[in-house]
Amino acid sequence: MMNENRNLTILGIESSCDETAAAVVRNGREVLSNVISSQIDIHTVYGGVVPEIASRMHCEQINGVIRLALKQAGLDFGGIDIIAVTKGPGLVGALLVGVSEAKALAYALHKPLVGVNHIEGHIAANYITHPDLEPPYVCLVVSGGHTHLAVVRGYRDFELVGATQDDAAGETFDKVARAVGLGYPGGPKVDKAAAGGNPHAVEFPRGEVRDRPYDFTFSGLKSAVLNYINLANMKGETLNVADITASFQKSVVESLVSRTVRCAEHYGIKTVAAAGGVSANSALRRELAEACAGKGMRCLYPEPVYCTDNAAMIASAGYYAYLDGVRDDEFLNADPNLKLGYR
Amino acid sequence: MRILAIESSGLTASAAVMEEDLLKAEFTVSNKLTHSETLLPMVREMLKISGIAPETLDAVAVSAGPGSFTGLRIGAATAKGLALALNRPVISVSALQAMSYGLSILSDAVICPVMDARRGQVYCAAYRCGASVIAEDARDIHEYLESLAALEDAAETEFIFIGDGVPVHAETISSELDRDVIFAGGQFNRQRAAGVAELGTVLYRNWLVRHGLTAAEVSAAGADGIDCYDGAVMNSDSFVPQYLRQTQAEREMKAGLLEDPGLHSLKKMQDKGSGRKIKE
């Protein structure tokens, strides 16, 4: 599949949630630029992402972000071979800005267009950080919107073996962060607060899904944490935020790590990767690495900047999709509910 | 001077090309709200059939709104992408003024465009002889009709109503204005790219004259080589839709209806569904 003789330079565009991003990546692995305009400060005021505000901001930012990505790569449009854009999943109004922009660029510049699955983008982030990584491997994709366990058999061949039955892992972090008064975004704030806490202080449940060994459930854990806080508030006790967050985080991390390692063992795969915003969590990185080491497995994560939403990962996934023959045209549309392995 | 125009503020998706004062082509579809799929294919087919290469366009005019938020952004991102790729300026055109323009320069009647903005409101304005007599706004239909009746010479003035707000509010308009009004039909009744192209051409020509430039000079320099942008004419980075309405979250925050996100709001979070997104 790989054509060793040909260099391909890809402009990636990402606008599925609250980051407007553009990046230039060569041959799926070499990042020439990676520009991310985050809207986090605005959404923090509302305690979460407001879709209409996110869509408006994408529309404001997108041309400037693309221009900066080209400039930092030292290229103009003439140096770009392919345009890749996130087509889903995500917030539909936000996705439509990137998709409409990318279609217009590809049409007017006479460049091939590739619509990219955002979850495949997260997985591809590992190719950027680990130039020697090749399938097969098991990938845990965990973010504010996704919790997936996939066997990556080839660059474009994914077997989805597990997913969350309710909340995404990152969503649970956001909710618990709000409940203990840490605010939005929950992931990094819980990570920081938990660093000084005792993870054994409160015994929170680890959710199991009957007959679905690789599926996740976090709603029971979320309720348990909220009930614990409610009870403490009613009794007039001061919340020990460090202990609560550390104990909560331990429960989430154990659920994620145990299934991922079990899955790799079951499929006889020796490499495990994590991806998505939650894969920047320090406890998850530490525990997954330890568990893998104990089983003689290799454990990989993207650098933190490629864990959260970015366009370099979209360009990388777009590169492999292009090599696999994927071509989109002016009819490309956003698909807010796109599943892993589908296009 | 060749201007491409895009209009997707309502049910209608429309693209047009104007060459000087000639409407070279227009492609208009009022079917369903599938602009995200159809708008760019329409531009492509229209240009192809007209034998116009995208590189020969001098500027991209786009309907800036008001209208459907998502529709406006599809048009905006399409125009921004085309203009960025072609290195051409963007001309920001009011949807209300564009749909009124052709009629308003024909007579001294007051042209009253009303777009349904739901919740009893309309996006509205009023134009006479090409000039604005009531500024664009999102208003209660009754308030709008009062301000029309309060216009100078209102008693001797003819009012012509257009837009998708007409079928919604026709009875209110007839009864509250207490006089004969004209509801223009057919080609005048909806947003069309031809109107955006026509008004966009006028705005662009005025800007060129003000700065002593020609369209050919701007196209040769490229949009990035120009630094005298003002008014409706801008580089593609600066263009944003004119929604005329804040988002629901912003309105609620202003009105103090949104809870302080720092407070413990356990009940809301225990409700099923995502706490990460606030429904718009």
Task: For residue range A160-193, list pLDDT tens digits in order.
Answer: 999 999 999 999 999 999 999 998 889 999 999 9
Distance from CA of A297 to the nearest CA of B (A): 34
Domains A9-126+307-323 and A135-302 share a fold: yes
Q: Does residue B271 form part of some domain? A: no
Q: Does residue B209 form part of some domain? A: yes
Q: Tell if the CB–CB gap between A233 and B264 is shorter than 8 Å.
A: yes
Q: So what's the pLDDT on residue B279?
A: 36
Q: Does residue B107 form part of some domain? A: yes
Please check whether residues B106 and B85 belong to one and the same domain. Answer: no
Distance from CA of A58 to the nearest CA of B (A): 9
Residue of A236, A271, A183, A306 lying closest to B262 (CA atoms): A183
Q: Does residue B253 form part of some domain? A: no
Full domain range(s) for residue B123: 97-187
Residue of B41, B111, B51 lying closest to B74 (CA atoms): B41
Q: Tell if the CB–CB gap between A59 and B250 is shorter than 8 Å.
A: no
Q: Does residue B84 form part of some domain? A: yes
Please check whether residues B103 and B89 belong to one and the same domain. Answer: no
Residues of A in Cβ contact (< 8 Å) with B78: 100-101, 103-104
Q: Does residue B254 form part of some domain? A: no
Q: So what's the pLDDT on residue A201?
A: 96
Please check whether residues B90 and B101 belong to one and the same domain. Answer: no
Q: For B106-152, write each residue's pLDDT tens digit.
A: 888 999 999 999 888 999 999 999 899 999 999 999 999 999 999 98
Q: So what's the pLDDT on residue B259?
A: 56
Interface of B with A in 198-237 (CB under 8 A): 236-237
- Nearest residue, CB atoms, B82 vs list A58, A108, A180: A108
Q: Is the peptide bond before B241 cis (omega within 30 degrees of 0)?
A: no
Please check whether residues B87 and B197 belong to one and the same domain. Answer: yes
Segments of chain A assigned E as strands: 9-14, 19-26, 30-38, 82-88, 113-117, 137-142, 147-154, 157-163, 271-275, 298-300
Q: For A218-242, write each residue's pLDDT tens digit.
A: 999 999 999 999 999 999 999 999 9
Mutation for testing the B interface, residue in A56, A61, A65, A278 having most B CBs under 10 Å: A56
Instruction: List the CATH number of the domain containing B7.
Output: 3.30.420.40
Please check whether residues B24 and B139 belong to one and the same domain. Answer: no
Sheet with A147-154, edge to edge strand ranges: A157-163, A147-154, A137-142, A271-275, A298-300
Cα A180 vs. chain centroid, distance in angstroms? 24
Question: Distance between CA A77 and CA B81 in Å, rounded?
Answer: 12
Distance from CA of A36 to the nearest CA of B (A): 16
CATH architecture of the domain with range A9-126+307-323: 2-Layer Sandwich (3.30)
Question: Distance between CA A329 and CA A323 in Å, rounded?
Answer: 16
Mutation for testing the A interface, residue in B78, B84, B251, B271 having most A CBs under 10 Å: B84
Number of domains, chain B: 2
Please check whether residues B109 and B41 belong to one and the same domain. Answer: no
- For residue A200, list its beta bridge partners: none
CATH dotted code for A135-302: 3.30.420.40
- Return the structure tokens found at B7: 């209009």
Please check whether residues B170 and B101 belong to one and the same domain. Answer: yes
pLDDT at B1 > cutoff 70? yes
Please check whether residues B61 and B139 belong to one and the same domain. Answer: no
pLDDT at B280 > cutoff 50? no
Q: Which residues in chain A come in under a pLDDT of 70?
A: 1-5
Q: For B27-77, write each residue's pLDDT tens digit.
A: 999 887 789 999 999 999 999 999 999 999 999 999 999 999 999 999 999
pLDDT at B90 > cutoff 90? yes
Q: Does residue B243 form part of some domain? A: no
Residue A132: count of CB within 10 angstroms of its CB: 7
Distance from CA of B74 to the nearest CA of A (A): 6
> Domain residue spans in chain A?
9-126+307-323, 135-302
Please check whether residues B72 and B203 belong to one and the same domain. Answer: yes
Please check whether residues B151 and B220 belong to one and the same domain. Answer: no
Please check whether residues B104 and B233 belong to one and the same domain. Answer: no
Q: What percent of chain B has pLDDT over 70?
A: 91
Q: Does residue B122 form part of some domain? A: yes
Q: Tell if the CB–CB gap between B264 and A181 is shorter than 8 Å.
A: yes
What residue in B sits closest to A18 (Cα-Cα)? Answer: B277
Q: So what's the pLDDT on residue B258?
A: 65
Interface of B with A in 235-264 (CB under 8 A): 236-237, 240-241, 243, 247-250, 253, 258-259, 261-264
Q: For B244-279, write each residue's pLDDT tens digit.
A: 999 999 988 888 876 554 433 444 444 433 333 333
Please check whether residues B197 and B90 belong to one and the same domain. Answer: yes
